[in-house]
Amino acid sequence: MSIAVLGAGAFGSALAVALATRGPVTLWGRATGWGRENPRLPGVTLPDAVTVTGDLPQAARADTLLLALPAQKLGAFLADHAAHLDGKTLVSTAKGIDLTRLTGPSRLIASACPAATIAVLTGPSFAADIARGLPTALTLACADPGRGKALQHALSTPVLRLYRSSDVTGAELGGALKNVIAIAAGTVIGAGLGDSARAAIITRGFAEMTRLSARLGARPETLTGLSGLGDLMLTCSSVQSRNFRFGHAIGSGTDFDSGTTVEGAATARAVTRLAAELDEELPIAAMVARLAQGAVSVENAMEHLMNRPLKEE
């Protein structure tokens, strides 16, 4: 099985490094003039088994294409390049909900590339850890059990362990929604509200994640696995998480690099609109959407959440 990673950001480059221990990998990106060291992944040199190219048709000749692209850019990429992608096995690593269509990556791919086999690779992971060869476990979700098993074996390495699932919807929703809660957790810590408050946000945020995911057809057990609870724990507790750092900047009133992709900010807006359509109440996600847009202060957001009607857990 030949493999290419489309998207030469930190995560795409890290996946290429990890998969190169199994054999040749092609890494495609629009700007790849940095040679063997991606500035987004400092201290990591791409092994010789990784071929870096800016030629998409060349990269797309591989049997399996990992789409390591931001969630809000995936739709446009698919629209531009569907002719090169359709009929392939396409594995999305995006963690978000498209703002325009209010859907996850798998449906965007299915719409643009109806003949493709679709899978989702997600779970608790930082690019730097994967690139350094640190032990990492992820979820690989594919509705086709046979293809899912083949991908599981092809993409696993001695330090990158993949667990298989057929619940594509649950896997990608877990990865998307946890980013929203990570912003909330970062805000709590940045504002100096303490670890007890963070624990409450994580717990009640997880309840929102599971409630919305169930409405959209996900299996509850998927959300308690790596792609849901596992990823939530990681992103809500580490400054390596861009979503957590973004929330921390909001809470502390400090500047944040506007050039850094924060998937949870756009996803919070998409989730709020989706919840309204479903008549589903998601107070934390709704407040994160407002905080990310500067529409409410941290003090007012916390006051609103703490003064909601008392109820059973």
Residues catalogued as catalytic: 178
Q: Is 11 annotated as a binding residue?
A: yes
**Hey, is 312 helix, strand or coil?**
coil
280 is in an annotated binding site: no
Q: Annotation-wise, does 259 bind a ligand?
A: no
Say if residue 96 carries a ligand binding annotation. Answer: no
Which string of DSSP letters, residue by residue, matches 262-300?
-HHHHHHHHHHHHHHHHT---HHHHHHHHHHTTSS-HHH
**Which tokens in the block code for residue 136?**
């990492």
- CA 274 remoteness from chain centre: 18
User: Is 196 among the annotated ligand-binding positions?
Assistant: no
30 is in an annotated binding site: yes
| 7 in a known ligand binding site | yes
| CA triple 185-283-219, angle to 5 deg | 85
125 labelled as ligand-binding? yes
Q: Would the annotation count 144 as a binding residue?
A: no
Please work out, in degrees rounded to the nearest 5, the angle formed at the alpha carbon of residue 270 by the alpha carbons of 265 and 275.
Answer: 125
The response to whether 8 counts as a known ligand-binding position is: yes
- Has 218 been labeled as part of a binding site? no
Summarize the chain as % helix, strand, coil (round to 5).
50, 15, 35
Residue 246 marked in a binding site: no
Q: Is residue 258 a known part of a binding site?
A: no
Contact 93, 121 (CB under 8 A): yes
* Residue type (1 letter), 23: G
> 230 labelled as ligand-binding?
no
In sequence order, the 6+-apart residues with CB closer than 8 A to the CB of 286 are 268, 272, 275
**CA neighbor of 142 nearest in space, from 117, 161, 123, 175:** 117
| Residue 29: partners with Cβ closer than 8 Å, 6 or more residues away | 7, 8, 9, 12, 52, 54
Q: Which residue has the tokens 């957790």?
A: 185
DSSP 3-state of 170: helix
What strands lie across the sheet with 64-67, from one edge to the other?
A: 50-53, 25-28, 3-6, 64-67, 89-92, 117-122, 136-142, 160-165
The answer to whether the beta carbons of residues 243 and 235 sit under 8 Å apart is: yes
Question: What is the identity of the amino acid at 158?
Answer: P
Q: Is 9 annotated as a binding residue?
A: yes
Q: Which residues are annotated as a binding site for substrate?
A: 95, 242-243
Q: Provide the annotated binding site for NADPH.
A: 11, 30, 95, 127, 242, 263
Residue list for the binding site for NAD(+): 7-12, 127, 242
Enumerate the known binding-site residues: 7-12, 30, 95, 123, 125, 127, 178, 231, 241-243, 263
**Residues making up the binding site for sn-glycerol 3-phosphate:** 95, 123, 125, 178, 231, 241-243
